[in-house]
Structure 1
Amino acid sequence: MASESYRPGVQVADVARRHGTTRWQIYDWRKRLAKGLLALPADLRSPQAFAAVEVEPDEMPPVTAPVSSDGIIDLVVGGITIRVGMAIDEAHLVRVIGAARTATAAAR
């Protein structure tokens, strides 16, 4: 039933009704198929396919980071300069950059 529900133009609810089960049961079997816990017959396996993907540019300008000779990094995030030392905690730096981006977006 799960493999039947993958056929083009077939609705899961119609398959469930035809076999006297619920669509949720078929969805459960489909999840198991996706996890490799069940297998589709060879004639129903679809060939690999590619889809076109378009990536939109970020609205925020990229972070630039010139490094000075004393190990201080100047990060420029949306016009805000953040000066940090090499020993800064990564998680803290991520929060600071996020706050700078939020502030820049709010100012627009």
Structure 2
Amino acid sequence: MSGRLAQYKPPEELANAQLTGQFVIPSDDVWPAALTDLGTHCPLGLWVHGHEQLPRLTARAVAVTGNRAATAQALACTQAFATAFTEAGHTVTAKRVHLPHR
């Protein structure tokens, strides 16, 4: 392997992730039922960090998405929105979206 993948150590990274989170799949009791509505776009699983119950966290969830080439201003605005949602009692989930160059 070369480049960035040369540093990738899946077993070690998985062990570290399991110390602070839990991986849940659609057949788990805590799986958010609303994700099933996504059909074939439903994720295979979710990493859940923290000790709260997933159904309680997802009852008031807000998703924040962005792209990898976000400007400093866009990142600042996103952080402000996410903070405001959190302070209002929502769970904020985030996903980066890679947009193709035009």
> Normalised by the shorter chain, which TM-score bucket?
under 0.3
| Larger Cα-atom Rg | 1
User: Per chain length, whose mean CA-contact separation is higher, i.e. which structure has more relative contact order (CA < 8 Å, sep 6+)?
Assistant: 2
TM-score in terms of structure 2 length: 0.24
The normalised TM-score by structure 1 is 0.23
